[in-house]
Amino acid sequence: MTTSGLLGSVVIPAHNEAVVIGRCLDALLDGFRPGELEVVVACNGCTDETADVVRSSGYAVQVIEIADASKSAALRAAEEMVTVFPRLYLDADVILTAASARQVLERLQAGPALAARPPLSYDSSRSAPLVRSYYRARARVPAVMNSLWGAGVYGLAEVGRARFGPYPDVTADDLYVDQHFQRSEIEIADCAPVQVAAPRHTADLLRILRRNYQGKAEARGMPSVSAPTTVSTVRDLVRAASTRPGSAVDVAAYFALAALARLMLAVAGPTRWERDDSSRE
């Protein structure tokens, strides 16, 4: 569904993102004409000034506030407000330029892709050496870099969004959405990458990995049309370690941190929502 003059819509769930939401909106909207993009920021369980920052930004952005600190609830509430497709779902802490947002929306309009996102770039310049090693290895895994999840943004055409109903209460919405599509139905647009800030400290990364594996554990019980990526991830990293000089250390760090995060989840069990505040400093 399209409305005259609108290229698409953007949903931004935000929980205590006053520090970064202005940066997110500046990058996204500096390049769109007024009335060209429909944007809803869904503030959920905020105890800071996130909503005030958005309202004072000068952009024509709708703001809603819900009491629950729940990304899934925020997504459901925002989708009751937006009216057009294609649609982007954007995390408040990543940097997506207007040019890249436009390219993804235009590709979804043109088809045949049902889901799309920009390429992904990890900024680990302020991270500890072990964290940098992990993300260098991660960036060599095609199954990760060509999926919807893990980039902080993904887009859906109207037909793609019809693959599932209201967002369920899951830890990883992007992984949940990704599982509804074959790889051939997903396009990585040819545009500037979305910038994702890596955690600064190893402990921060472990908390995020623990949350990720919790989300994957939830997703195993859900219907999926995507093939599992664990086997291909191991194969790709082993190949990288054997063919690229210096990459063995990065691959070893990747596997060690992944194993430790899985152990933490197994010992301590599921936890509340974890996020990395170090990358927001």
Rounded CA-CA distance 178/153 in Å is 12
Specify the CATH number of the domain 1-93. Answer: 3.90.550.10
Q: Which pLDDT belongs to residue 231?
A: 53
Using the predicted structure, report yes or no on whether residue 218 has a pLDDT greater than 90: no
Q: Which pLDDT belongs to residue 3?
A: 56
Using the predicted structure, report yes or no on whether residue 225 has a pLDDT greater than 50: no
Confirm if 45 and 69 have CB atoms less than 8 A apart. yes
Q: Which pLDDT belongs to residue 229?
A: 55
Rounded CA-CA distance 166/173 in Å is 11
Q: Between 32 and 224, where is the model more confident? A: 32
Using the predicted structure, report yes or no on whether residue 219 has a pLDDT greater than 80: no
Range in 9-23, 156-170, 266-280 with the lowest mean pLDDT: 266-280
Domain with CATH 3.90.550.10 in the chain: 1-93
